[in-house]
Amino acid sequence: MSMWEATGVGSHPGSDHLEAIRVVFGEVPGLPYLPELPARGVGADMVGRSAGLLIDLPVEVQPSGWRLTDRPGRDHQRAVDHLRRDLDGLEEVGHDYAGPLKLQVCGPWTLAASIELKHGDKMLSDAGAVRDLIASLAQGVADHCAEVRRRLPGVTEIVLQLDEPGLPGVLAGTVPTASGFGRLPAVEEWRVEESLRHFESPVVHCCAPDVPFALLRRAGVRGVSVDASLLRRRDEDELGELFEAGLTLFMGVVPGVDTRLPDIGVVAKPALELWRRLGFPADRLTEQVVLTPACGLAGASPAYARQALGACTKAAQVLRDDPAGEGG
């Protein structure tokens, strides 16, 4: 059970990584995270950043996107350098921090649907290549987590988030081939379940419709991160089973791009209403629901990014102080 209350999804606007890290530690102190700044360019994007963690699978950028290559080159080095700078910044800002910390990496299925083989289609088209990718990513992520623990000895636990926006398409067989003319065949659910067990109790983030809640629950993940506005009534049975099993739901309740933020009570409302409809005890709400922006904040202004995170923290306080929603 968590008491994390509020956090962010991962990406931030701009290119000042130190400022982004300061904002995170200031606005979501219950579960801060290492922000990602894709505006810095090649290797700072979600796919490139995570590809930089892969063991023995170097990548480079082609006009079509990321592709496996024979040896690490300039693009690979850029990704590694961005991450090293971010970790230096994390150490500088969080040197005396004690508590949990969240790290985000692109999940294996979204990576497999994005990276191309050396001479051919996407990695997703080749089951053997996908197996290699999963093993390489799991090892790279374990090394990354170990380095963060070394640099920040006060971290009590690492909450690993796998970003899988591409997972519904992988399961539905809608991922386009590299040429764009065909579709890659759907991947069986058991393969996805098995792959997620290679990571230490991750939270899976999927800001697309058709989040496979039942599959994720069977895979033993510790939580699921979603955009609350995409949840449908038909998802609620599966969400009920998710909560029954003790999982945490990260609910995206404020838009990820600039807008006039609603009143804090309105921000908290989707979580309160879902909880009430499912009929769980009010006191468990803050143990199993964490409030976040709906998706990453890369498309927002820096001022809005700060406000959005602050709004999630304040709304989480409403849930804690008034779990039954009587004050509304």
pLDDT tens for 244-273 read 999 999 999 999 999 999 999 999 999 999
Task: Inform me whether the pLDDT recorded for 328 exceeds 60.
Answer: no
Topology of the domain comprising 17-42+77-108+137-321: TIM Barrel (3.20.20)
Average pLDDT over residues 213-242: 96
pLDDT > 90: what percent of the chain? 93
- At 38 the pLDDT is 98
Helix, coil or strand: residue 242: helix
Cβ(44)–Cβ(82) below 8 Å: yes
Amino acid 120: pLDDT? 87
Whole-angstrom distance, CA of residue 315 vs CA of residue 317 = 5
Listed residue (88, 2, 90) closest to 292, CA to CA: 2
Looking at residue 248, its pLDDT comes to 97
Mean pLDDT for the stretch of residues 132-161: 98
Q: Report how far residue 17's alpha carbon sits from residue 121's, in angstroms, rounded to the nearest whole number.
A: 34
Q: How far apart are CA 268 and CA 278, in angstroms?
A: 16
Rounded to the nearest integer, the mean pLDDT of the chain is 96
pLDDT at position 62 over 90: yes
Domain segments of the chain: what residues?
17-42+77-108+137-321
Per-residue pLDDT tens for 26-48?
999 999 999 999 999 999 999 99
The per-residue pLDDT for 228 is 96
Which pLDDT score is estimated for 324? 67
